[in-house]
Structures are given as structure tokens and as C-alpha cells.
Amino acid sequence: MDTTKVQYKPLQFERLPADEQLARSGAFLAQMRTRRTVRDFSNAPVPFTLIENAVATAATAPSGANQQPWTFVVVSNPAIKQQIRAAAEAEERESYAHRMSEEWLAALAHLGTDWHKPHLEDAPYLIIVFRQAYGLTTDAETGETVKVKHYYSEESVGIAVGMLLCSLHQAGLATLTHTPSPMAFLNAILNRPTNERPYVVIPVGYPADDAQVPVITKKPLGEVLVRVE
């Protein structure tokens, strides 16, 4: 028998006037449409509070069984950034030369990426997001470390990263979602436990004055929104 009792409290919810709903959602859309993945970063300093607020925002994300299966490692130390760059470039060099298929390279060609990752040192902060594939707790009686199954950790971390990117963008910062592959070197460099799997590396900062971005478009709404009434 399940004797667990759910404790409830009244939802705090402000019902907005319709015109304000429309104004806010339109303003948010317009702002999000200006977000671009940036590869050329200035080394100009960024207030740490903006990073902290973004991580705090990401940490409000919904997650499977509210297990919050994420760790956000924020690196500003130049020597550590240099190590991450060296390791990422070594893997990426191998990937671009041998591991990625012709089809994959062709799909990517219009973005102009290659194995060079100077942004990993130029950007003032790197946020490395780890997914906790399972939790680790200490058994109260035996003192042993026990594994706790996590549910929907991929989806949960994906949602949290989306919210992180939104926060950083609306704070006036540029980001790059970078997924070197394989990423196990991040556990070694950052000394993270084996239940934590690197999910994405996000350089954060201001764009370089001469930053360029490829000319790309997003699919029109009619292609991505299917309305069933």
C-alpha cells in the first residue's frame, strides 16, 4: 500500500489581460528571433551574476520525477579553458577527418564549421552541462553509495538547456551550443563523477566586433505548426 501523501499548496498564478498576453508573447518572439549561434567571441568580461541567473533559470525547468538531473559547470579559468580547447580540437580534428560521414559533412557544410575551436578560449565563460544518467545517494543505514534511477534525463536536460539559452540571450549575451564528440574528456578535466555525462559545452560572452554568422533561415511557421481543431 502506498502511504505517501502529496502535500499541496495553492498555485500562484496571475491571469494577465489578453492585450498584455499578446504584447508579451510578441515581444518575446521578436527578441528570440534575434538569437544567433555565435562562433566569434570577444574576451570582454561578463558579469558573473548573468551566468548565475541563467543557471538558476535553467534549474527551474521541469524534469522527470522532478529529479533535476543536471549539473552546470562554469569555467572561467584560462588554463582549464585551454585544456578543454586542446582536448576538444583533438577530438574534432579526428571527427572531421575520419569519423563523420560524407553525408554528415555535406549537411554541415553551409555552416562553415571545422575542427578549430578558438571560442573555447576566447569566450569569458564556458558552461558545461552534465546530464546525471542516474543519481548517487548514501544509504542512511549502511553508509553505502546507492544508485537512484533517473527518468527522462535526456528530455529534462534538453529543456533546461533551452531555458539557459533563452536567459543568456535576453541578458544580451551570445552563446554557442557546442558538442565535441566524444566528450568524455570533460569528465577528466573537470573531475566529474561517472554518473554525470557531458551534454553540451556552451561558450558565453559578447560577440567579437567583427563577428560573422552564416546566412540561414528558419522554417516558416506553416511548415512546423500543424493545427488540429
Q: Which residues bind ligand IYR (CB under 6 A)?
A: 92, 108, 111, 113, 178-181
CA distance 222 to 8: 40
What's the closest the beta carbon of residue 67 comes to ligand IYR, in angstroms?
A: 28
CA distance 55 to 163: 9
- The neighbouring-strand residues paired with 73 are 128
Q: Which of 68, 83, 90, 186 is nearest to 135 (CA)?
A: 68
Say if CB 129 and CB 200 are below 8 A apart. yes
CA distance 176 to 135: 28
Residues comprising the chain, all counted: 229
Instruction: Tell me whether residue 47 or residue 182 sits nearer to ligand IYR (CB atom).
Output: 182
Identity of the residue numbered 161: V
What's the closest the beta carbon of residue 17 comes to ligand IYR, in angstroms?
A: 41
Instruction: Tell me whether residue 24 or residue 99 sits nearer to ligand IYR (CB atom).
Output: 99
What's the closest the beta carbon of residue 183 comes to ligand IYR, in angstroms?
A: 9
Q: By beta-carbon distance, which residue lies closest to ligand IYR?
A: 113
Instruction: Tell me whether residue 180 or residue 207 sits nearer to ligand IYR (CB atom).
Output: 180
Instruction: Tell me whether residue 75 or residue 150 sits nearer to ligand IYR (CB atom).
Output: 75
Instruction: Tell me whether residue 57 or residue 165 sits nearer to ligand IYR (CB atom).
Output: 165
What's the closest the beta carbon of residue 91 comes to ligand IYR, in angstroms?
A: 9
CA distance 205 to 174: 5
